[in-house]
Amino acid sequence: MFYKHIKVIAGICAAVVVMASTSVPVEAGTTGMPAVGAAPALEATSTSEQASATAALKTASKAPVQNNTSGVELAVGEASSDVYTTVHTAQTQAQQQTVPVEGVVEDTVLVVPEEETVSENDAEDFSNLVIAQVNDYVNVRSIPSEEGEILGKLYDDSVGEFISEQDGWYEIKSGSVQGFVKAEYVVTGEAAVALAKEVGKRIATVTTTTLFVRQEPTTESPVIGMVPIEDELTVTEEDVTEGWIKVSVEEGEGYVSTDFVTLSTEFVKAESKAEEEARLAAEEAERKKANAAASNSAASKSGATVSGGSGTGGSVASYALQFVGNPYVYGGSSLTNGTDCSGFVMSVYAHFGVGLPHSSGAQRGCGYDVGGLANAQPGDIVCYSGHVGIYIGGGQIVHASTAATGIKVSNANYRQVLSVRRIF
């Protein structure tokens, strides 16, 4: 990455000046973040939705900032500010940039990383797909015959890749299963291409450090939320405006630039015989734990209670409920001083010796899927587009919601649930 060096000519002698206390240091290799209480307004020449400083820093009076474990607290407001402010903890001050300038410095000089370009998303090719159209599932067999061994199941609307055709059977590859399905129970070709857009779930994976979600598809629109790198968002609408898509986040629906996401389509894949057996065994074990559990601890702050679940899962939910009312802080992971949604889940599980990633998208791949909200038990991680919470039973979750609401209890079905994951 190349850096911009700003020359200030205000005298005749040259010197190397380390940014003084009136300057706001920017850590090498990081991007600037928006001023507290104000959403950023980018310069007309910039199309970046990265949180990068593109205007000269002004040392005007700002709302106080509380540092957290991530080193920066951010809030969003009206898009009236033309200033970006970066806040660092003392740990980062040893990495301040030395800026070569000429003469006497009469204003603050800010070093800004050049923005990286992200390649455009290519259209996906669905022409090779095979999609099941049955009441429940179609068996995947070892040979193109009903005499073949059952290797797995391709459920209704599940998708595989076409390999070959033999005597009214299609050889397919789906998930970990490769075998043959009867052609009459699946669709291919143009029909599969059209159906793929209905049964597939469009996902936008964030490829920049901090992605702004805006009210309207323009850089002049106010920011309603921010999403960290590698988080996955559900796309609710495409082609609304060139270069923009509508996505779902905790604060509501908004728009993001396609320059800073990778678009893909998620499909349900076949389940192998071994995978099905393991899933059923795990579900049965959980049912036995639930029947034997008597974990109905009350949470002192929220008045909510934990209902059912395994002993460990119930303990996770009870522990999480202690922090209801504490603040939400983007990028944070402190259960008392402020955390975001994935930081909340990560820190709660860390108390029980479980290491989870600080990313809602990554947490959607942890543990195992229980098959939806109907099978959820206390302690399960409930995953939404760009958001996660902890199930506490009774159809409710506890989660770090937004800066306006902090950590709170909500109905679990207040938004579309993408997945429910079980750790214990």
**Distance between CA atoms of residues 110 and 53, nearest Å:** 9
Q: Tell me the one-letter amino acid at 327.
A: P
CA distance 73 to 392: 28
Residue-level pLDDT at 242: 87
Query: Contact 134/140 with Cβ under 8 angstroms?
Result: no
Give residue 46's pLDDT: 37
- For residue 107, the model assigns a pLDDT of 31
Q: Are 187 and 195 within 8 A, CB to CB?
A: yes
Q: What is the rounded radius of gyration, in angstroms, for the C-alpha atoms of the chain?
A: 26
The catalytically annotated residue of 358, 366, 383, 387 is 387
Active site residue 366: no
Q: Is 351 a catalytic residue?
A: no
Give the per-residue pLDDT at 305.
58
In the prediction, which pLDDT does 244 show?
95
Q: How far apart are CA 229 and CA 100, in angstroms?
A: 32
Neighbours of 88 (CB within 10 A): 17
- Tell me if residue 383 is catalytic: no
pLDDT given for residue 298 in this prediction: 36
Enumerate residues 6+ apart whose C-beta is below 8 A from 279: 271, 368, 371
Residue of 341, 358, 366, 383 marked catalytic: 341
**Is residue 360 a contact partner of residue 352, using CB atoms and an 8 Å limit?**
no
Cα dihedral: 216, 221, 225, 229 (round 10): 90
- Which domains does the chain show, CATH number per domain? 1-116 (no CATH), 129-199 (2.30.30.40), 202-266 (2.30.30.40), 286-422 (3.90.1720.10)
Number of helices (H) and strands (E) in the chain: give both, helices first.
5, 25
Question: Tokens 């990455």 — which residue?
Answer: 1
Residue 223's SS3 state is strand
Mean pLDDT by 10 residues, the chain (424 residues): 36 36 36 36 36 32 33 34 30 36 30 32 83 95 96 95 96 96 96 92 93 95 93 88 91 94 93 90 70 45 56 90 95 94 95 92 89 92 95 95 94 93 88
pLDDT of residue 312: 84
Residue 350, classed as helix, strand or coil, is helix
106 by Cβ neighbours in 10 Å (0-12 / 13-18 / 19+) ranks as exposed
